[in-house]
């Protein structure tokens, strides 16, 4: 979180000669700790944790006493694990399409990480693994231990129970024991409650760091800065001036070989009550008293608490069929030929509090859509037309302020000006801010801040048990409807099912186009 705003502002100016300066300015190394990763052989470890550790090491934000122990089933040598991770890191660095792409790896920084990696074979559900782990950790250089569960959700409870039973979550002698887990935090309200109950049986809430990776994105963290570090937004950030807010997470990819997982999950559970609600929380929350974790999380919790529980009428689901972007979802490996799993979900959400009463938040997400774009568009109310009634102007387009999260990073503001010439005509224009024009952006996978904050014990960007449950409570009726919700087809490569347009048309509104046709951006 932006705790050191002055220093960050000064040093964040683009400095291509020293891109690291953009992130490490004013920061100090995390305290020593031993990181235990369950799921050493998994994708998350390879794709996200290792590149993040590398970046933190390059920024000199890790303590020299750090050790990294990777637990996984299957015997193998530490040297093989190190080689595998080195190879995959080099692969991501060389891949121009990867978020981690970089022309030059800092060998010293990676060697620093590699030298601390230790492979630890063990089954996640066997007592014996945890007895050996306990003995190993008794010899760790640091008594501070972070257990990162980079494993499938089915292993969460068994691992937590074993850690608890082995006494590994007990904090003593001023050392911390932290548990890091990542969504899915359950699949509905009941399962989320059960998971939280299991966690809280063995650990205190203050030891638990639930990751929603959207909060690791700088563009998401910047929402609070944009709102609260400027005079121009907050006065209009309310029902009197805002007509509606649209939150979009559109993807062009399909299920990327995860058909089996996706069949159980679907777009709604995968994205709505977690990632999109997090964006909603950042946009809708009241100003916190400070960037202190509890202040920020309390304000966000109030937003979730104020959400009117969604009903079937607020939701549209869709599934992609064969179209310009390729074959249909049912053709994907691991997907049932008669699957009813949705790959698209749209929802109308009301935050029933003083600031937002009557302002709809429209959320949508989908796979195989026409364009990749994660953004929040805040549409202002229309101004009175009366001044223009005797001019050739037919209509005035409402102003739209958009926070662009991915892949474009920045903001745009759509507004009206006079078209040059002798008659009064109105032209819609856009002014845009792009991060890259001001700051040195660099290969950052989004977990750097999360890992660092967790080591520091700053829980601001992590999910608290109560918020997880209120978010699921808001959508639980939709997840357990009296009769199954319709799943509408849409062509792969389109903007989603037409029923989604109807959801907004009912309210006299339209979605912001997914494809930008303007020349200037």
The residue within the footprint of ligand BG6, chosen from 218, 270, 342, 414 (CB under 6 A), is 270
Q: By C-beta, is 72 or 374 nearer to ligand BG6?
A: 374
Question: Is position 374 an interface residue for ligand BG6 (rule: CB under 6 A)?
Answer: yes
Contact assessment for residue 277 and residue 471, using Cβ atoms and an 8 Å cutoff: yes
The one catalytic residue in 162, 213, 275, 409 is: 275
For the CA atoms of 57, 59, 64, 66, the dihedral, rounded to the nearest 10 degrees, stands at -50
- Provide the 8-state DSSP code for 3: -
- 3-state per-residue secondary structure call for 231-247: CCCHHHCCCCCEEEEEE
Q: Please compute Rg for the chain using Cα positions.
A: 24
The contacts found for 329-336 with CB under 8 angstroms, 24 or more apart, are 329/254, 329/255, 329/367, 329/368, 332/254, 332/255, 332/259, 333/257, 333/259, 334/257, 334/258, 334/259, 334/260, 334/262, 334/263, 335/255, 335/259, 335/262, 335/263, 336/263
Query: Whole-number minimum distance, CB 317 to ligand BG6, in Å?
Result: 15
The residue within the footprint of ligand BG6, chosen from 59, 375, 406, 469 (CB under 6 A), is 406
Q: By C-beta, is 269 or 488 nearer to ligand BG6?
A: 269
CA gap 80, 83 in Å, rounded: 5
Pattern 237-266, ligand BG6, x by CB under 6 A:
--------------x---------------
CA gap 54, 50 in Å, rounded: 6
CA gap 287, 300 in Å, rounded: 10
Contact assessment for residue 156 and residue 185, using Cβ atoms and an 8 Å cutoff: no
Query: Whole-number minimum distance, CB 372 to ligand BG6, in Å?
Result: 8
- Provide the 8-state DSSP code for 369: B
Q: By C-beta, is 399 or 402 nearer to ligand BG6?
A: 402
Query: Whole-number minimum distance, CB 47 to ligand BG6, in Å?
Result: 11
- 430: three-class secondary structure by DSSP: strand
Look up residue 381 and give its two tokens.
């109310």
Query: Whole-number minimum distance, CB 367 to ligand BG6, in Å?
Result: 7
Q: By C-beta, is 260 or 502 nearer to ligand BG6?
A: 260
Extended beta strands in 185-256, E state: 208-211, 242-250
Could you tell me which residues come within 8 angstroms of residue 443 by beta carbon, excluding any fewer than 6 positions away? 51, 55, 93, 99, 100, 101, 102
- Provide the 8-state DSSP code for 358: T
Residue nearest to ligand BG6 (CB): 270
Query: Whole-number minimum distance, CB 264 to ligand BG6, in Å?
Result: 12
* Tokens 């920084």, residue located: 109
Which residue from 351, 521, 366 is spatially nearest to 428, judged by alpha carbons? 521
Question: DSSP of 49-110, one letter per residue?
Answer: IHHHHHHHHHTT-S-TT-EEEEEESS---HHHHHHHHHHHHHHHHH-TTSTT--SS--HHHH
Query: Whole-number minimum distance, CB 514 to ligand BG6, in Å?
Result: 15
Q: By C-beta, is 129 or 374 nearer to ligand BG6?
A: 374
CA gap 79, 82 in Å, rounded: 5
Query: Whole-number minimum distance, CB 114 to ligand BG6, in Å?
Result: 26
Residues of this chain, 327-366, that bind ligand BG6 according to CB under 6 A: none
Q: By C-beta, is 129 or 444 nearer to ligand BG6?
A: 444
Q: By C-beta, is 82 or 275 nearer to ligand BG6?
A: 275
Decide if 275 is catalytic.
yes
Question: DSSP of 282-301, one letter per residue?
Answer: HHHPPPPSSS-HHHHHHHHH
Q: By C-beta, is 58 or 249 nearer to ligand BG6?
A: 249
Residues in the interface with ligand BG6 (CB under 6 A) total: 4
Query: Whole-number minimum distance, CB 218 to ligand BG6, in Å?
Result: 12
Query: Whole-number minimum distance, CB 270 to ligand BG6, in Å?
Result: 5
Question: Is position 448 an interface residue for ligand BG6 (rule: CB under 6 A)?
Answer: no
Q: By C-beta, is 270 or 321 nearer to ligand BG6?
A: 270
Active-site annotation, residues: 275
Under the rule (CB under 6 A), what is the footprint of ligand BG6?
Answer: 251, 270, 374, 406
């Amino acid at each position: 979180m932006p705790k050191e705003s002055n220093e960050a502002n000064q040093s964040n100016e683009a400095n291509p000669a020293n891109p690291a300066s953009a992130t490490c300015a004013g920061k100090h190394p995390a305290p020593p700790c031993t990181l235990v990763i369950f799921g050493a052989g998994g994708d998350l470890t390879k794709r996200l944790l290792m590149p993040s550790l590398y970046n933190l090491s390059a920024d000199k934000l890790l303590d020299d006493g750090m050790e990294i122990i990777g637990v996984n089933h299957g015997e193998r040598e530490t040297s093989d694990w190190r080689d595998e991770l080195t190879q995959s890191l080099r692969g991501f660095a060389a891949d121009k399409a990867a978020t981690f792409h970089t022309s030059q790896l800092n060998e010293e920084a990676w060697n620093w990480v590699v030298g601390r990696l230790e492979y630890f074979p063990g089954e996640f559900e066997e007592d014996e693994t945890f007895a050996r782990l306990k003995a190993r950790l008794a010899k760790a250089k640091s008594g501070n231990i972070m257990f990162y569960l980079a494993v499938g959700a089915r292993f969460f409870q068994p691992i937590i129970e074993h850690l608890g039973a082995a006494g590994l979550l007990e904090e003593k002698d001023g050392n911390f024991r932290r548990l890091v887990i990542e969504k899915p935090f359950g699949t509905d309200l009941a399962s989320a409650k059960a998971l939280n109950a299991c966690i809280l049986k063995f650990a205190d809430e203050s030891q638990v760091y639930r990751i929603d990776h959207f909060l690791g994105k700088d563009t998401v963290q910047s929402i609070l800065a944009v709102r609260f570090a400027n005079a121009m937004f907050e006065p209009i950030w309310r029902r009197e001036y805002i007509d509606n807010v649209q939150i979009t997470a559109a993807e062009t990819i399909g299920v990327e070989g995860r058909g089996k997982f996706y069949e159980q999950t679907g777009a709604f559970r995968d994205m709505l009550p977690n990632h999109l609600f997090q964006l909603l929380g950042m946009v809708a929350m009241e100003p916190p008293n400070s960037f202190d974790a509890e202040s920020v999380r309390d304000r966000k919790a109030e937003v979730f608490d104020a959400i009117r529980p969604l009903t079937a009428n607020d939701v549209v689901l869709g599934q992609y069929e064969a179209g310009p972007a390729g074959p249909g979802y049912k053709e994907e490996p691991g997907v049932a030929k008669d699957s009813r799993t949705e790959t698209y979900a749209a929802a109308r959400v009301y935050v029933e509090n003083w600031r937002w009463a009557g302002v709809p938040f429209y959320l949508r997400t989908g796979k195989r859509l026409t364009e990749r774009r994660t953004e929040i568009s805040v549409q202002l109310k229309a101004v009175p037309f009366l001044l223009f009634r005797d001019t050739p102007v037919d209509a005035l387009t409402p102003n739209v302020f958009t926070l662009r999260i991915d892949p474009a990073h920045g903001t745009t503001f759509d507004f009206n000006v006079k078209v040059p010439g002798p008659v009064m005509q109105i032209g819609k224009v856009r002014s845009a801010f792009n991060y890259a024009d001001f700051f040195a952006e660099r290969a950052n996978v989004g977990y750097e801040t999360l890992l660092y904050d967790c080591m520091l014990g700053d829980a601001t960007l992590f999910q608290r048990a109560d918020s997880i449950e209120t978010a699921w409570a808001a959508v639980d009726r939709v997840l357990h409807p009296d009769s199954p919700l319709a799943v509408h087809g849409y062509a792969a490569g389109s903007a989603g099912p037409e029923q989604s347009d109807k959801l907004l048309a009912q309210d006299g509104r339209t979605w912001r186009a997914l494809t930008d046709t303007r020349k200037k951006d």
